[in-house]
Amino acid sequence: MELKIVGGDLAKAKTPCLILGVYDKHKLSAAAEAVDKASDGAIAKLLRKGDLDGGKGTLLAYDLPGISAERVLLLGLGKRKECDRDKLTKALGTALSRLGESRVTKALLALPAGLDDYAGVRAAALKAAESAYRYEQTKPPKEDAPPLLERFELWVEKPRRAAAERALAHAEAIGAGVALARELGNLPGNICTPTYLAERAVELAKAHEALSTEVLDEAAMAELGMGALLSVSRGSRQPAKLIKMSYQGGAADAKPVVLVGKGLTFDAGGISIKPASEMDEMKYDMAGGAGVFGAMVAAVRMGLPINLIGLVPASENLPDGDANKPGDVVTSLSGQTIEILNTDAEGRLILCDTLTYAERFEPDVVLDMATLTGACIIALGKHPSGLFTGDDKLAKEITAAGEAADDRVWRLPLWEDYQQQLDSNFADMANIGGREAGAVTAACFLSRFTKAYPWAHLDIAGTAWLKGKEKGATGRPVPLLSEFLIRRSGVETKD
Ligand code: BES
Ligand code: MN
Ligand code: ZN
């Protein structure tokens, strides 16, 4: 999809559909007012009929006099005072599906005053870009399916053009990252295997000059001593891969940001097998890894002046004669031993060796993301991802990035008090901490492998995909990670 910033006289803009904001009580946005004037009050007259009372929903108008646009979509934005970025993007979602129903594939949005800055333009453009994603790989669209948006223009007033252009470029990059993460997430486990993920990473490096990929196979991991990671893949016929992507956008000697994402391409639970209901959703257990892929692509496309390394341990978790058994003890790359009391707590086993491996890159900071615990969904639901870190400053930084990117997190404790739940009589630690605070004890487990650098963990179990009619990967936390990287790299986003 094509995104573009435009200026000039809105009444003369040639577009299949001009989208104008309208507030409650028929109050027009400045742009709508200008167009209304040019059409001799036709918009105000339409609104007086009462269709958009309360300032919600949409109203499509054709053949307005004095207007070049083929149609005008009046978009309810609610109360003028309350109309913020969040309200705008929600309303825009309504407008975009209205466009689909009318089979309109090109549109021009006049951004309301106050929302035409970097943040407003990026949020609106990203929303439009996200609406143009549809999963098609194993289900081609029906002929009567609504067509996807092909071109989306944003009208902003002149003085802010520079910030708007940058916002648009960033939205394009983040949109591409989100789309990639969603596509990888949605692909079924029989297509999206560890080997498939590794191949996609190699392809990405071929497509983006600034990106390079290296894949460690099981022999290389055995050589290193990744006993925890390899114990999980032993129960699967698909060999594990440790995927490393790197992007050198910063100074040669600048320490890298390292992103680690759980790439469990299907989690049946292993010998501690999961119940059958909704087990298909465990194809999404690689969403953390997909988030790393997406964030790498976004950073490369934005050309951020930052050094970035993405690590994705990829494996399946299945029951098998050679699979982990409850009570087994394995030795991690760190040398610490782990008693596997539940083979379904496998994410932390593949992550812990990857987190130890990350040490060799002398990271500035390490962020890991994982669909790690059902307990995190019980604690927080599907709105925020869980954030765990002992570093208050880093917590603030990530929380702020999440707010700005509309991809929020909520911090949960990582107190020493919980660590004892991982005590084992047969190894340095157990891989589960009992029923209480399952998301916290999972994070506590990871924390034992991250002493060498500043670190934060995101549990994205509740946010990485949607259930029900809208079932599908969300692409989270790519927007959050992208914002975090933009801020870390010090790129200017103001005018
Ligand atoms: N991938 C799951 C976590 C998960 C479950 C994410 C449901 C999203 C929805 C993870 O590997 C897992 O099975 N965790 C266990 C841990 C338990 C055995 C301590 C869980 O949450 O039940
Ligand atoms: Mn599991
Ligand atoms: Zn899992």
List, for residues 133-165, the tens digit of each pLDDT value: 999 999 999 999 999 999 999 999 777 788 999
* 267 within 8 A of 150, measured Cβ to Cβ: no
- 348 is an active site residue: yes
Tokens, residue 187: 């692909």
Type of residue numbered 356: T
- 108 and 179 together in one domain: no
pLDDT at 490: 93
Q: Is residue 162 part of a domain?
A: no
Candidates 232, 373, 457, 466: which one to mutate for ligand 1, based on the most atoms within 8 Å of Cβ? 373
- 418 and 343 together in one domain: yes
Q: Is residue 163 part of a domain?
A: no
E strands, 177-279, are 211-216, 241-248, 257-261, 263-267
- 132 and 180 together in one domain: no
Q: Is residue 495 part of a domain?
A: no
Q: Is residue 260 part of a domain?
A: yes
Sign of CA dihedral 284, 287, 289, 295: positive
Last residue of some domain: 111, 126, 156? 156
Query: In this structure, what CATH number is given to the domain that contains residue 481?
Result: 3.40.630.10
- 137 and 189 together in one domain: no
- 248 and 102 together in one domain: no
pLDDT at 16: 98
- 136 and 216 together in one domain: no
Last residue of some domain: 156, 186, 215? 156
Indicate whether residue 459 lines ligand 1 (CB < 6 A).
Answer: no
pLDDT bracket for residue 198 (50, 70, 90)? very high
Domain that holds residue 214: 175-489
Q: Is residue 170 part of a domain?
A: no
Indicate whether residue 153 lines ligand 1 (CB < 6 A).
Answer: no
Last residue of some domain: 98, 122, 156? 156
- 332 and 402 together in one domain: yes
Measured CA to CA in angstroms, residue 388 lies from 377, 431, 445, 488 at distances of 14, 18, 12, 19
Whose tokens are 């990473």? That residue is 201
Q: Is residue 46 part of a domain?
A: yes
**Max CA pair span of the chain:** 82
- Taking only the tens place, the pLDDT of each residue in 29-84 is 999 999 999 999 999 999 999 888 778 899 999 999 999 999 999 999 999 999 99
pLDDT at 160: 79
- 216 and 119 together in one domain: no
pLDDT at 241: 99
- Taking only the tens place, the pLDDT of each residue in 475-495 is 999 999 999 999 999 998 876
pLDDT bracket for residue 303 (50, 70, 90)? very high
Where helices occur in 113-159 by DSSP H, the ranges are 118-131
Query: In this structure, what CATH number is given to the domain that contains residue 89?
Result: 3.40.220.10
Whose tokens are 């001799």? That residue is 40
pLDDT at 50: 87
> Residue 343 above 70 pLDDT?
yes
pLDDT bracket for residue 412 (50, 70, 90)? very high
pLDDT at 495: 65
Indicate whether residue 271 lines ligand 1 (CB < 6 A).
Answer: no
- 74 and 221 together in one domain: no
Indicate whether residue 432 lines ligand 1 (CB < 6 A).
Answer: yes
Phi, psi of 192 (to 5 degrees): -85, 80
Give distance in angstroms: CA of 288 to centre of ligand 3. Answer: 11
Ligand 1 closest atom vs CA 264: 1
Tally of domains in the chain: 2
Average pLDDT over all residues of the chain? 97
Rounded average pLDDT over 100-115? 95
Q: Is residue 271 part of a domain?
A: yes
Q: Is residue 168 part of a domain?
A: no
Taking each helix axis from N to C end, the angle separating 287-302 and 161-186, rounded to the nearest 10 degrees, works out to 150
Alpha carbons 367 and 381: distance in angstroms, whole number: 21
- 99 and 191 together in one domain: no
Residue nearest atom 16 of ligand 1, based on CA coordinates? 345
Tokens, residue 329: 């003890």
DSSP string of 93-124? HHHHHHHHHTT--EEEEEPPTTS-SHHHHHHH
pLDDT at 492: 85
- 425 and 479 together in one domain: yes
Q: Give SS3 for 233.
A: helix
Q: Which residue has the higher pLDDT, 50 or 292?
A: 292
- 135 and 180 together in one domain: no
Tokens, residue 351: 């992550």
Q: Give SS3 for 31.
A: helix
Tokens, residue 314: 């990829």
Q: Nearest CA to 301 among 177, 452, 388?
A: 177
Indicate whether residue 461 lines ligand 1 (CB < 6 A).
Answer: yes
pLDDT at 262: 99
